[in-house]
Amino acid sequence: MMHTHTANRKTAKETVTDYVLGYTDSEQERLIRQAAIIAPIAERFFREAGIGTGQRVLDLGSGMGDVTMLLARLVGPSGEIVGVERDANSIARAKARVRAAGLRNVNFLNTDVNNIVAKEPFDAVVGRFILMFLPDPVSVLRSVARLVRPSGVVAFQEPSWTAMLALGKRLPVWLRTRQLIHEILLRSGANREMGIALYRVFQNAGLPPPKMHLEMPLGNDVNFIRLTSDLLCSLRPLAKQHKVSLQDLGDLETLPDRICGEVAAANTVVSLIGVVGAWSRKSGRADSSDGEPAEAEGE
Ligand SMILES: C[S@@+](CC[C@H](N)C(=O)[O-])C[C@H]1O[C@@H](n2cnc3c(N)ncnc32)[C@H](O)[C@@H]1O
């Protein structure tokens, strides 16, 4: 089923969509700013996974097109990136950004990741911060892996919150903010530990155990810290829906400044998110990703 979310755009402060983070303008700006910080990590990861010149790559949950454009530069004019996104407005914005960047090797499919049809096989399927939102990531991974040629690459970046929260011991306001975001995501069904779960998700989808690593961007300036309070703003409708009180945090307008103050006083840095990268290659056999799950699916 294809979804569009025209009614949920703009300043829909109290609107709940079936995608946890929603599609307000401010959420889309947050995604773009977050992507700029993660870009060096993403580029290293995709290069390590073997993505390069001339390849055809499928990008799941392309959003504002940041991963899509990074990949488009990696594969060059002889390659092609197909971004899959179910929100038509996000695709329109991503297309405009692709045009403005002068990239001609990008196409978008406006569909749900469960319903992708492709005539030709891809060299790789990738995605960032998408499997964490899916009710059945194993079945999606299994079906998209079938669109990849034998020996092709499957590479995903998903979050881990546990490592990030461990950094907040001396930062009560930052920690409380992150704990409340964590609680809202938990009650909304998003998997905050999808990064670590990728190890089993890959195998349950019939893929070889992935190579993995965890990286965390760190910082303490107001723009960096604002990404945390902006994420909270995107989640406010869900906080209300799931009855998570934000009262502990006081005035949300002054939250970024107060976090900056406590981080400066502690002379330290905070993390934006723990980014787990996991990648593996399909085996050379044509039916390699059609195998049975390695174990019961517990993700
Ligand atoms: C957190 S954003 C990540 C965007 C981009 N990958 C990035 O890292 O900047 C997740 C995106 O996945 C899209 N999405 C979520 N569920 C989807 C589904 N079932 N099919 C297609 N797109 C989906 C959302 O609309 C959103 O644009």
Q: What is the pLDDT of residue 43?
A: 98
Q: What is the pLDDT of residue 144?
A: 98
CA 162 – ligand 1 centroid, Å = 22
CA 100 – ligand 1 centroid, Å = 21
CA 177 – ligand 1 centroid, Å = 23
Q: What is the pLDDT of residue 285?
A: 76
Q: What is the pLDDT of residue 287?
A: 57
Q: Are residues 221 and 260 in contact, defined by beta-carbon separation less than 8 angstroms?
A: yes
Residue identifier of the C-alpha nearest atom 23 of ligand 1: 61
Q: Tokens in use for 155? A: 């590479």
Distance of CA 174 to the CA centre of its chain: 22
Show the ligand 1 pocket: residues with CB < 6 angstroms: 19, 21, 31, 35, 61-64, 66-67, 84-87, 90, 112-113, 128-130, 133-134
Q: What is the pLDDT of residue 121?
A: 97
Q: What is the pLDDT of residue 17?
A: 54
Q: What is the pLDDT of residue 284?
A: 85
| Segment 76-81 long-range contacts (CB within 8 Å, at least 24 positions apart) | 76/105, 77/104, 77/105, 78/53, 78/54, 78/105, 79/53, 79/54, 79/55, 79/105, 80/56, 80/105, 80/106, 80/107, 81/56, 81/57, 81/105, 81/106, 81/107
CA 31 – ligand 1 centroid, Å = 10
Which residue among 2, 30, 130, 181 is best mutated to probe the pocket of ligand 1, counting the most ligand atoms within 8 A of its Cβ?
Answer: 130
Query: Residue-wise pLDDT tens for the chain (299 aa)?
Result: 333 333 333 333 334 457 888 888 889 999 999 999 999 999 999 999 999 999 999 999 999 999 999 999 999 999 999 999 999 999 999 999 999 999 999 999 999 999 999 999 999 999 999 999 999 999 999 999 999 999 999 999 999 998 888 888 889 999 999 999 999 999 999 999 999 999 999 999 999 999 999 999 999 999 999 999 899 999 999 999 999 999 999 999 999 999 999 999 999 999 999 999 999 999 887 754 444 444 433 34
Q: Are residues 237 and 24 in contact, defined by beta-carbon separation less than 8 angstroms?
A: no
